[in-house]
């Protein structure tokens, strides 16, 4: 999963998917910030992003959106695969920059993470999300949070929104 063309893109210019690197962390923070503000993503500290950078894929495109290929590149989408066991992982930190939404990038990030999950030998990936319809569109099925106690122990127990959580669980068997 080093540098893959995003086949699912419906619009030029093309973006490229690659594994994230530490130098991407400031851009990842910028990409996620508006979605953290709306509550669609949980906040992540810079320390947390650095520690877990190997779990992330990013889609990179021309910053100007011109597709010439020669300009500065910007990260326009990201997502991560958070491992819980030898069979289970969570898709987390999924974000597509506003002006790039609706062009197949969200699907392409999920495809890349699911392909990586398959390569690792995982049997199931899940997500907790306020956008369940997006995941259902991509073949995930509805689930119960209680099916993923590892997530509940790791994150929900410390989450400030645990008493008023509006996230829905979705899952995909591989």
Out of 18, 82, 107, 151, point to the residue binding ligand COA (CB under 6 A).
107
The stretch near ligand COA (CB under 6 A) out of 15-23, 42-50, 61-69, 124-132 is 124-132
Least Cα distance to 78 among 6, 151, 168, 153 occurs for: 6
Out of 76, 111, 114, 129, point to the residue binding ligand COA (CB under 6 A).
129
The burial class, CB within 10 Å (0-12 / 13-18 / 19+), for 149 is exposed
CB nearer to ligand COA: pick between 122 and 127: 127
Sign of the alpha-carbon torsion through 111, 57, 161, 148: positive
Residues in the chain: 174
- Provide the token pair at 59: 């889609």
The answer to whether 103 contacts ligand COA (rule: CB under 6 A) is yes
Out of 46, 54, 137, 161, point to the residue binding ligand COA (CB under 6 A).
137
The answer to whether 127 contacts ligand COA (rule: CB under 6 A) is yes
The answer to whether 145 contacts ligand COA (rule: CB under 6 A) is no
How far is Cα 57 from Cα 92, in angstroms, rounded to an integer?
11
Binding site for ligand COA (CB under 6 A): 35, 40-41, 94-96, 101-107, 127, 129, 131, 133-134, 137
């Amino acid at each position: 999963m080093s540098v893959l063309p995003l086949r699912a893109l419906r619009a030029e210019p093309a973006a490229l998917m690659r594994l994230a690197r530490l130098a991407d962390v400031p851009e990842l923070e910028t990409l996620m910030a508006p979605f953290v503000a709306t509550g669609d993503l949980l906040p992540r500290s810079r320390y947390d992003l650095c520690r877990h950078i190997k779990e992330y894929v990013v889609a990179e495109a021309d910053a100007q959106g011109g597709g010439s290929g020669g300009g500065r590149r910007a990260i326009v989408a990201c997502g991560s695969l958070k491992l819980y066991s030898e069979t289970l992982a969570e898709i987390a930190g999924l974000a597509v920059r506003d002006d790039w939404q609706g062009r197949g990038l969200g699907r392409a990030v999920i495809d890349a993470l699911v392909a990586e999950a398959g390569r690792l030998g995982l049997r199931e990936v899940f997500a907790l999300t306020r956008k369940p319809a997006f995941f259902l569109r991509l073949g995930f099925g509805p689930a119960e949070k209680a099916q993923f106690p590892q997530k509940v122990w790791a994150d929900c127990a410390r989450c400030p929104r645990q008493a008023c959580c509006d996230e829905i669980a979705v899952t995909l068997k591989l």
